[in-house]
Amino acid sequence: MKRIISIAILIFSTMQMSAQVEKISISLCDTIKLSLYREKFDPSYCKFEYYPEQYLIAINGQMVFGTDGNIPKYKLSKAVLIKGKSSYNLRVDNMYNPWFGEKVNEKLFKAELDGTNLIVRGLFSDGAASYGAEWLIVGNSCTRTILSRDEKIIIEYFDF
């Protein structure tokens, strides 16, 4: 009986661990690493806003980035930046369908050090709706400074 319970626990814990959360790690330079986590989007408890009655524009009153008007398949659930011994949880709300397939194009992410400011930029896309995000890290603090699908902003700020 103990063996059956142990096997059931092992199977259940394996199912929980692989609950559709995928992680990709990107080395931005020798001392900076970005880990991105995506998970399947669960629309169960969401309120959707459409314009004009057919194109999704908001989820729970927040603009949607990463869709072409459809309900997203994935959401970016977490982004962690490691710089040396410091770790930063980057803001990822409203970021959907961050990449296509199993890998991301690492050339679409970069980090720039400007004095004491670290600027991290990324271009996200599942092949349809592209958008860019930028985070500013200063000391022990970080904030998202840009989240945009505007092509002019992406071309100007995301010079890849």
Domain membership flag for residue 14: no
Does pTM top 0.85 for this prediction?
no
* Strand residues in 30-140 grouped as ranges (E): 32-40, 48-51, 55-59, 62-63, 74-83, 86-90, 109-114, 117-124, 131-138
Domain membership flag for residue 7: no
Domain membership flag for residue 75: yes
Domain membership flag for residue 10: no
Domain that includes residue 66, residue range? 20-157
pLDDT for 124-149, tens place per residue? 998 778 999 999 999 999 999 999 99
Domain membership flag for residue 118: yes
Domain membership flag for residue 11: no
pLDDT score recorded for residue 18 = 41
Q: What's the total number of domains in the chain?
A: 1
Domain membership flag for residue 123: yes
Domain membership flag for residue 31: yes
